Every structure is written in structure tokens, then in C-alpha cells.
Amino acid sequence: MADMNNNKPRGSGGENRERKPSFGGNSERKFGSKPSFGGERSASGERKPYAGGSKPAFRGEKPSFGGDRPRFDGEKRAERGDKPAYGERKPVFGGNGERKFGDKPGFGGNRAGNRPGFGSPRGNGRPMGDRKPIQGKTVKPHQQEGLPARRLALEVIREVTEKGKFIHLVMDEKLRNCTLPLIDRRLAARLAYDTIENQLYLDHALAQIMAKPDCDIKLKNVLRLGACQILLEDRIPESAACNTAVALCKELEMEGLAGVCNGVLRNLVRQKEELQWPDPAENPVRALSVRHSVPEWLVEKLLADWGDEAIALMSVHSHDSYITVRPNLLKLDDAAFEAFLNEKVWEHEPGKVAHAWRIRNMAEIAHDAGFVGGKFSIQSESSMMAAMAVEPKKGMQILDCCAAPGGKSCLMAELMGGSGRVQAWELHEHRTDLIAAQVKRLGLENVRPMTRDASVSRPDLEGMMDAVLLDAPCSGLGVMADKPDVKYRVTPESVEEIVHTQRQLLDAVAPYVKKGGTLVYSTCSVLKEENVRQAEAFLARHPEFELAKLPQSIPEAFRQHEDVGLQLLPSRDGVEGFYICRFKRKRI
């Protein structure tokens, strides 16, 4: 059961999940409204480059709900976008008036941040791959404008919806290999992510316009991209959305359907104010499902687990264009790292967790000499707290069961001052190589990357570890706002299988903890059956363990919500959705 329903394999790690870019707006958000995206645009409706240039996307530890990710030098991607002052609620969303359910303000805003990397070298403005319209099909100037960005966005959308690939992987690859200028890269990334994130919403709207909604998937994806611009983007001319969609149809050798595409989108422009949306009073689950593009079964599960908070979980977006970095504690203390950051053009401020800084206005950070030289790492604050929950001390023997690409292992090794040993297990050899690359870059000698299946018991290790960290495979729904395709991949059956795997892993690794030692269990999910109920069931099966409080290294602002473990909620805590639970093995 290495890979289940596109979940990350057993033995893979799970931290530093990607956050999405910032959204604008100044009014209180109403139920049924979508955020209005800001960002300065040219007269043609395209967004102007932001000062500070582009930045690459970075990911964190394990992929949420399956799939391996491309890394920069084996490292992780970062997350987030632009956030208001710390301690405040997330930014309110666009529009100033009352909105009816189903009305969406246009989307916009800086989709840079930790959307897939915008840090590739600038191109010369050529369309990606020097692609040209089909021979004999003349594209008018007003159609050509902005077409390369739409072409790239459509290629990403098709890879995700037609081939089942992961959006962050596809987008990274496309942006890394294209020669588009920064403004087109940002537009392509925003349109691709918005279209995937709002897929159910867009399909509901298109179904009211089309005589036969169940059309060819290639045409459907062109229409989704066009509808995204018409319904969700308030600064893209509707004529540009229609004209470029027709041009894309012709490029896909669907000349015969170009007229259909044009007719559907122009009818959508004319009828968008008359579109009908599910009534929240009559069918609240269906209404929430369409409004937030979350499958109905998942809406029901989130409502059962979180009540009113579920609406915030479904509607929360990553509103920041920052990434979180921390110093290599064997090379720099916090003061020295602050001085290092002061020499950069990056904007920076302390994060909510010790040793964490949130930085903005960075470009190609993976190529920064300090990063390459091992002075700092990129790691989310939720991931850092999972490692801190172990409370590493000098000389300890620690097992990180699901470690790739090694961020938590490295942080624990640094907190131990380079002493003791961290065994970093990973199921697949190529992911073990990611851990080794990070260990080498940071110059750590007390981390031992190993290819091991953590679900297979090792009797020779029983009672040998001071601490075990199990950051288990999970649904990844704690970061579904950052990775919009995950909510369509997760199924009731896959969640059931994941819960079974988590239980197997807990039972397999618990005997390695010596008496008086620590076991930390974490996930990047918000489903209670993966988290608090999993922890309670473990305690019922293993009376030799007891629940332990999290250490004070985790800020009180988070620990105040601790009960049976700590559930971090992006809507409440402003960090990635994570669950962290600490157990102690009794000495008797």
C-alpha cells in the first residue's frame, strides 16, 4: 500500500505545504461572495509586474495526498501570500455592497508568492515553445494579446483534469521551461489556479448556458478558462476572454467547435446576472458545495466535524505572498540571521514561531548564495511546530518515520546542536535522496537518511529511541486552499484507507519509544477521524502511553487551543492546517 488513491506513500514526510497568493478587497465578506483580486493592470487588462520581481515556489516536506514534487536542490517549497498585520483576521474580500448567494466579485491580486515559481529567468515575450496558430488560421491582434498566458494556463488545466496530474507539479514545470515575461507567468498561474479551485462553480454556471453540458473535455476546459475570466476576473475584458478562447479552440484543432465556444461564452456574458444558484435555505450542502467548489460528501464531513467553522475552512484562502524561512541553527543564531536578512532587499519580519521569519519581495531564493551555502532553510511554521513538539535535546536518539525531504529531521538535528542522531526514514529511495541533499547542503552530520518502510516492525529497535516523530500520510485537507486539486482527489474510500494506514504506522513505531520517551503524531489534515479520533483510539489500544502537553517552545497563542492534541486551523490561526499530538511512554 505504498501509494493509495494518489496519497503520498507511507514513509513520506509532510510539511511546508504551499500557500496561495494574496487576495484583495476591503469589505466584510458575505456568504456566497468570492474575493476580489487586486493588482495594478495595464489598459489591456493584464497585470503589471510588481516591484521585487518574481519569486519561485517552494514546497515543504511531504506531498499532501500523493505525488512527489520537484524540488530546488532537494529542498521544500514555501507557502503563503500577503497577510495583514499579525494577530488580525485574514484580509476581507472584495466588493463593497451586499451580495447575493452565487454573486462573485472578480478575482485578481498578486498570485505570485508561493504559487508555482515565478523565479525562472525572464523571457523575451515569445509564446511558450514558439507556438503559432494553425496554418491558414489568422489570429487578429486583439485575439493574440494575452494569448500566450491563456495557452499556458490551459495546458496546466488540461494536465490536471485530463491526465490526473498535480497542479503544483505541472505549473512548476511549465513556468520553469517557458520563456514568457513575468506578467504573463503571473496571469497564467492565476488563471490556472482559479479555474481549478472554482471548477464546480464554473461548471454549474456553464451548465445553465450550454444545451449539452456534457461536452468534449477539451472544449469543456477551454470554456472553464473563459468562464473563469468572465465570472471571477473583474479586470479582464470579457471580449478578451471570448476571443482568446476561440483562438485556443482553433489551436486545439477544434475549428468546428470554435463557433460553439464563442456562442456559449458570449451568452454567459449576457446572462451572467441571471444565473441561478442553489438556495442555502433549501439545500445548504448543495449551496456550499457549488459556492466553494467542494464535493458534497466533503461539505457534510466538514460540517459534522467543525460546524460553522467549516464554512471558514472551505472559503479560506492564503492571503499572503510571504514564505517562511529559518536559520541553520548550527551556523547562525537569530541575531546573526536578522543581520543577514537586513543585507537583503527582501522585506522581512519575525514569524509567530521561534526562529521563523516571514519574507516577501524575494526572487529566485533557491539560487541565493546563503540558501545554497546552507545558511537557512524554507519551512512552514506548522511544520516547525511538529518538530518542536518532539522537544529535541542534545545527545538524543530520534526517529523521523516519514521524513522526506527532511525539513523536520534537519530542524531537530540543529536543535540538538549537531549531537545525537536522527534516523530519517523514507519509503522510496528517490525521496530518501531528497533528504540526503538537504542534509548535505546544511552540513549536518547527525542525520542518517534511510530507505525504510515504517509500517514494517523492527523488533531490534524496540525501546531504543528517546523520541519518534510520525508525520503520517494524510488527506492533505489542511492545505486544500493552497492545493485546490486535492479536494477533488480525496474520496470517502481514500480517507478510510488513509485512516487504516495511519493506525498501522502508529502501532508499528510506538514500540521503538523507550520508557519515559516521546511519540509525536502529526498530519496536515483537518478531518477529526485522521486526527483527534485517531489519537484517542491509539491511547485506548496502548495503555503504556499517556497524553502529554506540548512544550512551551510552541507559542501560547496556539497551545491555548490544545485538547487531545492541537488542531491548527488556517481560518483561525493563520497557518497551515495541521494536527500535532504528543504522547509519553509511561515509565512503569
- Which amino acids are annotated catalytic? 524
Record the cell numbers describing residue 250, joined without a space: 482553433
Provide the β-strand partners of residue 203: none
The tally of CA atoms less than 13 A away on the side-chain side of residue 353 is 25
Angle 71-19-558 (CA atoms, 0-180°, nearest 5)? 115
Angle 57-63-69 (CA atoms, 0-180°, nearest 5)? 50
d(CA 389, CA 374): 24
Q: Which of 536, 83, 99 is nearest to 316 (CA)?
A: 83
Number of neighbours of residue 538 by Cβ within 10 angstroms:
20
- For residue 532, the surrounding DSSP H or E stretch is helix 532-541
Which ranges constitute the DSSP H helices of 180-254? 182-197, 199-207, 217-232, 238-251
What does 373-416 look like in DSSP terms, one character per residue?
TTSEEE--HHHHHHHHTT---TT-EEEESS-TT-HHHHHHHHHT
Q: What is the DSSP letter of 465?
A: E
Q: What is the DSSP letter of 365?
A: G
CA dihedral 571, 301, 111, 113 (to 10 degrees): 60
d(CA 270, CA 59): 41
Please, are residues 483 and 577 in contact by the beta-carbon 8 Å criterion? no
Record the cell numbers describing residue 441, joined without a space: 547542503
